[in-house]
């Protein structure tokens, strides 16, 4: 990932698995800042990961969810990233 940290990216979606008892609206508010189009205009892989870590950190602060693991699915031809967050 370090070799690709300066590649421009666009986050297409964020999927949260394993949060069955967490309201969708709550999760949307947590990840909304990461997905804002105007904020993504300057995203590189490194900045996108940093923003995602901030969002997952907010989830972790509540102390009701198990450890959060983040996975990236990238479409290299369009630099589109899909983050999969397992809780």
pLDDT in tens for each of the 87 residues of the chain? 667 788 888 888 888 887 888 888 988 898 898 888 777 788 888 888 898 889 888 888 887 777 777 777 766 555 445 555 555
Element (H, E) at 12: strand 10-17
pTM value is 0.72
Residue 87 near residue 66, CB atoms below 8 Å: yes
Listing DSSP states for 43-62 in one string gives: -BHHHHHHHHHHHHHHHHHT
Q: Which of 15, 20, 18 is nearest to 55 (CA)?
A: 15
């Amino acid at each position: 990932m370090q070799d690709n940290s300066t590649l421009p990216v666009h986050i297409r979606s964020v999927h949260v698995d394993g949060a069955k008892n967490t309201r969708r609206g709550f999760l949307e508010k947590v990840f909304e800042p990461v997905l804002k189009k105007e904020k993504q205009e300057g995203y590189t892989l490194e900045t996108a990961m940093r923003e995602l870590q901030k969002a997952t950190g907010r989830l972790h602060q509540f102390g009701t969810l198990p450890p959060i693991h983040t996975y990236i699915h990238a479409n290299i031809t369009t630099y589109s990233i899909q983050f999969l967050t397992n809780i």
